[in-house]
Every structure is written in structure tokens, then in C-alpha cells.
Structure 1
Amino acid sequence: MIARATVSDRFNVIRKFLPLNRAIVALLALALALLLAVNIATYVMVQRAAAYNDVVSHSKHTQLAGWELIALLTDAETGQRGYMLTAQPSYLAVYRNALERLPAVIDRMDTLVTENPDLAPRAARIRSLYAERRELMTETVELTRMGRIGEAVSLVRSGRGKELMDAMREEVSRIGAYEEARLTTLTNSSKRAQAYTLSFNILGTILVLMLGLISALLVRRQFATLMAAQKQLDQINIGLEEEVRERTSELVRANEEIQRFAYIVSHDLRAPLVNVMGYTSELEQVGLALDSHLKMLEEKQPDLLDEEIVRGVREDVPEAVGFIRASTAKMDGLIKAILQLSREGRRPLAVEKLDMTEVVQGLIDAVAHPIVESGGEARVEALPDIASDRLSIEQIFGNLIDNAAKYQHPERPLQLVVKGREVEGGWVEFEICDNGRGVATKDHERIFELFRRSGKQDRPGEGVGLAFVRSAVRRLGGTIRLDSDLGDGATFILRFPRQLNVRAE
């Protein structure tokens, strides 16, 4: 709003104090005519580009439909064969999900190619092949369900299913090749049109510049009048500066209010945390008392002891207590950090040399128990040391490791690896790799935005973790990026300076 008012006021002042003579008006009219011609040419080019983009979008959607068809058929086959091999109903979920989605994909492909006489027959053949392949898969699943495994295996070994899949892959491949060829032709045509438009724009720009130079020579004589207008503009700017100060004051008050709110919330969180820590200590004392009692029984009446109870008291309980202590200690550190930020507004960075292998191993130990219990693995390779702020580093890596544990792939145990290396220019690069759900390419930037999340929303969270991570990484002078595909895990790549320079913050 302020910017628009400033421009409007400037034009009003210039119009009032700078009368243009006829020569300047004529030159400006000619320049405007040239600009109009250039804009018309640009508009035509934009329209052509829009039409080209529509064709590209249509072509890509056609290719995507074909790839999705093959992917879903592959999923259906995976579920079918998994069920045949294990007779586990869980495989049928993948199989049924794929079969439910396939008709919509085929219908979409038909819609995309229905007006293309070259591709419509191929889509029709794909539909026919799919119908036969679906019937064959359904028959093998039903035979397996009835316990006639031998007949189902014979159908698979007949090779007809492979022939149908190969035929559908061939048709999809030919559709893709056709679309690629069409895009190549359109691209070449678009490049030629762009070259013509660029040449015309350059010529028009040169002419406009020449007219502008002539106009500048004529306007020079008006400079004295323009100086008077400048005085009035200065008065306008004074009013704008006052308005900016008022807006800044409002922002400062709003920021102080947010800090007070953060302090109140963080303070209230400490009460239940202290209770948890207290009850954990009591639980530990109870475990010690039980262990002492078990030792007495071992000496006097060992036949009364149950090995499961002994193992639970001496192994499971200490392990659980240790896990609770690690988790509460981590939460306590975060709450203290929030309280510190709320009091100071901005916590100063404290640079110290960090053994990154030890730091990251401690973070993984806090979440390792549920990972190992589910058959997964979390490990840390030897990491290079850096000199940076310990709390910020722990918060960054802790958030990313927690996310990996939270968003495991439902069909496989989690494999989490943290590795790092030194790179040229005084930088250190770390990679946090997992085989979890992954993130779609279109969401690689979205997930770093505040309160924005990606994928299926079946886990608790407010969408602030990765936004905080990116902010903290940037404050440490580093960068973060994501390499991931949906369903194929994710790798967060962090780059930090080997030695943080606090003065540059």
C-alpha cells in the first residue's frame, strides 16, 4: 500500500511542475507505439508458449498415465505372488488397492488419447490386454484362496501373464515415444519463434533507447522545475517515514507478545516434565528394591524364581528407565532452549568443537529402542568434527532423526544411516539417509515451509519441525536440501562451515 501511494504522489508532483512541450509528447508517443508493437509481439509469443505448454502438459499426463498403469500392474503382481507364496492376507491389500485404481488410470488414458487417431488404437489394445491380465491374476488368487496352489502356480508358469505385461509395456513405450517425438517437433518450432521475437524486441528496444536519449536532451531544460517538485516529494517522504515507524512499532509489540506467549507455554510444560522425571526416579528405586529382593530369593529359594520376571527386572526395567531418562532429558533441553529464547529474544551462539560422531550417536540412542524392536537398524558412520553451536546442532539432527523414525515405511523395517565428509572450501557435509516413505518431488520445498506438511497425514505434528531446522541451519551459515522420491526413502543433505564465525551471524 505504501509503495503504490509513493509512486502515485510522485507522478502527481511531476505532472504539476513539469509541463511537457510538443516535441517531447511526439517523441513519447512514438516510443509508446514502438513499445506497443514490441508488447504485441511478446503477447503473441506468450500465447504460443501457452499453447505449447498445454501440449506439453497433455503429453506428460499421457506418459504419466502409462507409467502409472505399469506401476500399478506391477504392484498387483507383487501382491498376487506374495499371497501365492505365503498365503498371508496382508499381500491382498496391495493387490486389491492396485486393481481398484487401475480402471481410473485406463479411463484417463483413453480420455487423453481419444482424439488422436494414432494413439487411440493402442489405448484400446492396452484396455483389452489389461482385461485379460486382470482375469488371469484374479483366477490365480482365487485358486490360492481355495488351496489349489498347484493350479495357480501352473497358470503363472504358463508365461501368459508375462506375455500380457510385455505387450502392455510395449504399447506404453510406443505411446511415450510418439509423445516425445511430437514434443521435439513443437520444441524446435517454439525455439524458432522465440528467436524471431527476440530479434524484434532487440530492434524495438534500440529504437526506444534512441528516442529516450533524444527526449532526455529535451527534458534537461526542465530540470530546474523538477527540483522544485523534489521539495514537495521530500515532504511526502517525511509522512511515509512516520507511517513506517508506526508500523515497525506495531511489529515490535507483536513480537514481544509472541515471546511472552512462548515463555508462558514453555514454563507450563516444565511442570508435567518434572513429574515424569520424579516418577522415573521412583520407578528406578522400585526396580533396585525388586532386584535386591530377587538376589535374596536366589540365595534362599531359587526354585521360586521365574526367569522372565528376573529378566524383566534386571534388563527390561533399567532399559525402559534409561529410555525415559534420555527422552525427558531431550525434552527438558528443548524447553530450556525455548525459555532462553523467550527471555533473550535471540540466543547468542556458543561455538565449541563438537565430536559429531558422539553427538549424533547420543541422539540416535534416544530413539533406537523402538527402531530395533521393529526389526530396523540405526547407525552412525565416522563423522568429521566441526566447531559450531552444540544446542543448534543437536536440535537440527534430532529433528531429522525423529522424522525418520516417525515416518517409517509401513511395509519394511527402518534403515537409518548418518554419514558425513569434508568438502573443499572449509565445509563439512552430512547425510541423513532412511528407507522410509519418502517425499514427492513437488513437495521438496513445501515441507520446509512453516505449518506445511507433505504426504499422508497419519502422524501427529504441526508442521514446524523442518521449518525450524532450515532456519537453524541458515543461522549456522549452512544449507539443507532434500533428495527423495515418494516411497523410496529420503536423504537430507546438510552443509556447514567447518568453523562457525559468530561475528558473521
Structure 2
Amino acid sequence: MTDSQTGTTLQALAGFLRREQARLTERWMQAVAADADLIEADRLTWEQLADHLPAILSGICIALEEQDLQPVERAIERNARQHGNVRWQQGYRVDELVRELELFRQELAAAVRAFAASDDTFTRDHESRALHLIDEALSFVTLTSIREVIGERDRTIAEYTSQLERANEELREQQREVGELYRSRMQVTRGLVHDLRNFLNAFSIDLQLIARVPSRAEAGLALATRQAEDMKQLVDEMVEYSVVVGDSSQICIEPVDLPMLFDELVTNARPAIEGKGLRLSASLEAGLVRVQSNRIKLKQVALNLLSNATKYTREGGIELVIARCGDGRWFMRVADTGVGIAPSDTERVFREFERAASDDIPGAGLGLAIVRELCHALEGEIHFESREGQGTTFEIRFPVDLKPRG
């Protein structure tokens, strides 16, 4: 028999399969529904179950007409990949996917035999050739679908693994932060206990002094008063920090009268500065009258910087400057001639419960941590320079017109 005759016969078979497509698909679906091993198929609708198999059948018909799989190999591969991807999303196992396609092959083989029985010109050679092409096509479909399922599974595993690694890294970071927080809490606890013990010891000694030597009562009371003031400062600092960190409410933006704020800052800071024998130099740029910000938080920033400068300066002076810095911003600068900050401590001093120097200076080491949190809320940029033994300059640059967030 010539290739032309074979081609004509296989074309007739392809036409038969196209006409029988609906009945063929229905018989296949009935076979799938009756198969006890195909669990996931029971959950699918008719359209979901059919999926890309009609398109694959169309490709097989073209392969029969051409007597070659190659012309439709790409189209069959594309449909097979889509079929495998859909079945993965529908929860199929690989064995279910293979079994389902095997049932489809059996239905096609039965259709070929039915056609052979109805057409005397369809020989055993024709049948063998047709079944070979169908087996070749469905083996290709099965292999491609399995690869797609495995690829999707591997991608999902890789994604879950990546998420797990990120979660583990975040957990390690949180554990590290918890460890650091614990250490810092222990540090401040030890510091508080130490300060409290010193306060109580001094207070006890002062009471004994007053009782034993009435003429020294005034000196004893002065010492006790100073200890009480130091403890009050420490407690006030901790309360202020807890309020700043715990405040998650929307910041209230309002017109701030800078000359009025400037006068208030000078009035508040001057007694402590001059009480240590230091000089206070303060200046406000003329014409800088009003900004949009939050007055209370700006005042907290300035007073914390001024308080820090006062605590760490033994002689010389402290400078407060408020002026413009261009590009819609203004700055608040506090400079001192104090002990300074070592280069190795420039990051550490902004952490909670850290101190710029090891001197026995009252406080919990929260001043700059408070400044950092407030500046974040006010969109302030912190710049500072410091030289050990020569002093420190903090300059905070704020927007002239602070906008609400969100």
C-alpha cells in the first residue's frame, strides 16, 4: 500500500475522531469517574476535568493526517504543559495524572478499533501505524505534564524554603534584639539599683549627720536634696522615653511660633547652665518666625540636647542656634565644650540606656534615644560632630512645612 493510500486512510480516521470527539470525551470522563484511584477528579466540574485534552486530541488528529508528530509537537507540548500546570493547581498527584492520561489513551485505542471495524480499507498496518502515533503523542503529553507538575512542585518547595529561611532569619534577628534588649534592661536595672543604693546610703548618712551633729543639719539636708533631685531626673527621663516610644498616635501638626519657642528654651535651660558656672550663648535668625511642626516635640528635642550638653560640660559654654538651612528646611543647633564623644561611640550613644561617657553622671542614658525617636516623628535629620575633650555639636534639620503622614 502506498504512502498516499495510508495517508488518505489515516485522514479518514482523523475525521472520524473529530466527529466522535464529544462522545469520546464523555466516555473518557465516565471512565475517570469510575476509577477509584482518581480521587481529585471527583471534585472537578465537567469543564475543569476536560481541561486541555480536546486541544491535545486535535493535535493528535493533525499528526494522523500528516503521519508525523513533529508538525504539531510544539502545540501538543504547550497544551500538555498547561494541562500539567492546571492539574498541579487542582491537587493531582503524579500517579493520578498518569492514570488519567492512560485512560484517555485507552479510549482513543477503542475508537481506532471501532473505526477499523466500520471501514474495510483500514488494515492492520493502518491500525498499527495509527496506534503508534497516538502512543507517541500521549507519551509525549504524559512526560511533558509530569515535568510541569514536578517543576511547579519544585518551585513551590523553593518558595516555601525561601520563606522559611527568611522567617528563620527574622526570628534570629528578633532573638538577637530580645537578647540585646534583655542586656540593656539588665544594664539599666543595675544602674538604677546602683543609683538608688547610693541615694539611700547618702540619705541615711545625712540623717545620721543631722541627728549626731545638729550644727551640720543644713549641709546634710543639702546633700539629701541633691540626691533626691538626681533620682527625680533619672525617673523623669525614663517616664519621658516610655511616653515617646509608646505614642503611636498621629502627630499633631500646628503652626509653631519659633521666637516664642526660642525664648521658652532659653528660660528653661539658663538656670541649670549658669548654675554650673557655664556660659549660654543663644541666637535666633531674624525673619524665621513660623513653621509647621509640633511645638511640644520640638521643645523636647531641644531640652534633651541642652540637658545632655549641660551634664557633660564642666567648663566653657553651651550654644543654642535656630536658623534657616535652605531647601525648605531650618535647623536647631546645640553645641558644647564638654567631654565629647569617641568615634567608636557615635552609633552607640543613640541607643537606649547608653551614655556618652563613663563619668558618674545622673541619668538613665535615654536623652539621645528620646531625641532620635522624636526626630523620626518630626522628619528631622540628625547631624553631629564631636571631638573627645573638646565638645560636641548636634544639628537637627527639620522641614519648614511638615506634612501629615499617610
Which range, TM-score by smaller chain?
0.3 to 0.5
Structure number with higher helix proportion: 1
Tell me the TM-score normalized by structure 2. Answer: 0.42
Structure whose CA Rg is larger = 2
